[in-house]
Structure 1
């Protein structure tokens, strides 16, 4: 499977995981669009607006990885916050909680992978 995110249609989403604001999401595998039997549940690129956030949420039955491509933000890992920027990778294991907030003036662009 090949997906060209640069030419795929972006979808506007608000209130990502009940966080404030929103962003543009481009999916290789959209939420609920995975192949039967696959461990991959979602693969996409998200451009989070300045001031917007993916609200803190738990991963009870799956895991998620973020790869920050551009912009700056604050990553919530359980109860601890970390500043993040281009090249940073976050990993949220099953049973853990995370979130991400754009603290910059430009979109915070990252790849997101959910597997379970």
Structure 2
């Protein structure tokens, strides 16, 4: 994502960029949401907690009114799992779906998707995407 697109992003302290393997220790496979959640008062925040050559996992934290701009990925699928709050998901320009804790959203490669925290409380969702590397194609704003 390019600078100035109303999102901040950081890597967690877990080892990122590992190749796909089946030999991971359990402490490398278990993540605590409370250790990853981080908000930025100026923009929605994405924290990548795991990344391999195959996939990436991230926690997105949005204060009320903050958003993930409408975008797509040409070669990657994206799954978003809402764990706290209420938001509006945009599966394509002009469409919208209200989501809340426990809802799971799937976007195939090429499908537009974006999110806005439309509630009065903090909004948290977990994203899992692959394959990696993953491009970012911006679309008309929400």
TM-score exceeds 0.5: yes
Give, in angstroms, the shift of residue 7 of structure 1: 5.6
Closer/same/farther in 2, CA of residues 94 and 104 from structure 1, 3 Å limit: same
Number of aligned residues: 103
Q: Which runs of 4+ in 1 moved over 6 A?
A: none
In structure 1, the residue matched to 2:71 is 57
TM normalised by structure 2 equals 0.63
Distance 2:119 2:111 in 1: 26
Higher Cα radius of gyration: 2
Greater strand percent: which structure? Answer: 1
Counterparts of 2:31 and 2:123 in 1: how far apart (Å)? 20
Where does residue 68 of structure 1 map in the other structure? 82
Question: 8 Å contact 2:107–2:113 — kept in the other structure?
Answer: yes
Q: What is the distance in 2 between the residues matched to 1:6 and 1:65? A: 17
Task: Give the Cα separation in 2 of the matches to 1:61 and 1:50.
Answer: 31
Q: C-alpha root-mean-square deviation of aligned residues, in Å?
A: 2.2
